Amino acid sequence: MRRGAGRLGAAAAAAAPHHEAPQQGGGRCSCSAGRAAAGVLPCALAALSPSAARRPASAPQRHPAPVPARWPGPGALPGASPGVRRRRPPRPRPRAGRRGAARLEKLARRPGEPRSFQAVLPPELWIHLAVVACGNRLEETLVMLKSAVLFSHRKIQFHIFTEDSLKPEFDKQLRQWPDSYTKKFEHRIYPITFSVGNPQEWKKLFKPCAAQRLFLPVILKDVDSLLYVDTDVLFLRPVDDIWKLLRLFNSTQLAAMAPEHEIPKIGWYSRFARHPFYGSAGVNSGVMLMNLTRIRSTQFKNSMIPTGLAWEDMLYPLYQKYKNAITWGDQDLLNIIFYFNPECLYVFPCQWNYRPDHCMYGSNCREAEHEGVSVLHGNRGVYHDDKQPTFRALYEAIRDFPFQDNLFQSMYYPLQLKFLETVHTLCGRIPQVFLKQIEKTMKRAYEKHVIIHVGPNQMH
């Protein structure tokens, strides 16, 4: 979202940020793209792989010093010479697909050392998650952050942009979480600031402070890549999984969002928009991956001047030109930007930004039907009214879950019972879509706890 010190140092050197993502078809866009952090973890793992660590044939061989003879111990073979012990069965090799973070942690720990989450990854490999919260969004934001921490593996840096009146409460609430969870993240709180244009005008665009997300590349100058989410988002699987989508960017892409609608002919943009928008149905900015390094170094095509404009220089003139035509504020501005720069956007499936529109008129997100909902987006206030009780049930289950309780007993099973009360709605008739990923995530968390913390020999 730091087997010996020499090898770990080589891994850290190989894992330096700003690696270029592999190109997947298509030529270069007019964007002058920087480097992506998407390839950081694979580079670190490649440096630690057996093939990378293999010595050349010409390298001198080291011979171990002679070992003095010892008295036979309890495990010695009967009749064997002193010092000969029973050979232990070989340890099973790790399965393919084990998480790179776990490998780095194993190498970072010495034998007998306790597990330490902070030792898993150096800071440049953390996940960076940003959110903007103003007005009455305190509880909603804390529940979102809680869902991120509950299931994730890599350490997360939270970037919280909020009003001065909410800063003390955010800090107080986050510090009250149990140590087993607070060690999985660090948080920093920022004021609401707009570097160009009229701050009061930006602050009132669509919803309070929502336009702040447009200025994240300018404010977070030391952050390479970032995941931005709205306050009404819930993670139903590790944040690590959506973070991996950065690796799928080609050499021109610098941001990723999901479509606004799966059926263009009934989508909002295709029917009502009075401004340019991306693709055939537009995109929804409630969940947005960004390569900030590329955004900062890009000259964007636009409808105002014949040459490209830098991100910060483009924002206010763009708003001034379209302010009388936009309805959804900053999301509309992002649609306009990527209408003129479509090669710079990666579009991920709807399961990563699942909203009431995907089920309230009938299920229309195929990826969620097959894989389950990965990221839930309860827009239109559905967590706080009775219009979509399925969304509200998930929100309340995560909000009310005591950190130290069993996930299955205190969250999953009560959630199943709550879903029985929602079958009168179209969303409530497809509970498996909402429960599939959260069940997988809980099973993985349970297995990890039993096998790693309890141990396979103590399971009986």
CA distances from 455 to 108, 407, 449, 452 (A): 20, 19, 8, 5
**One-character DSSP codes across 187-234:** EEEE----SSS-HHHHHTSSSTTGGGGGGHHHH-TT-SEEEEE-TTEE
Global confidence as pTM: 0.73
- Strand 225-229 to strand 127-133: parallel, antiparallel, or no bridges (unpaired)? parallel
| pLDDT tens, position by position, 295-316 | 999 999 999 999 999 999 999 9
| Residue 317 confidence (pLDDT) above 80 | yes
| Residue 61 confidence (pLDDT) above 50 | no
Other C-beta atoms closer than 10 Å to the C-beta of 124 total: 15
Give the pair of three-digit tokens for residue 296: 């900062």
Domain extent listing, the chain: 127-348, 384-453
Q: Is 306 exposed, middle or buried (0-12, 13-18, 19+ CB in 10 A)?
A: exposed
**3-class secondary structure, 262:** coil
Give the pair of three-digit tokens for residue 82: 């002193």
| pLDDT tens, position by position, 141-173 | 999 999 999 999 899 999 999 999 999 999 999
The type of residue at 420 is L
Q: Which CATH architecture has domain 127-348?
A: Alpha-Beta Complex (3.90)
| pLDDT tens, position by position, 388-401 | 999 999 999 999 99
Tell me which of 49-53, 356-360, 381-385, 414-418 is least confident.
49-53
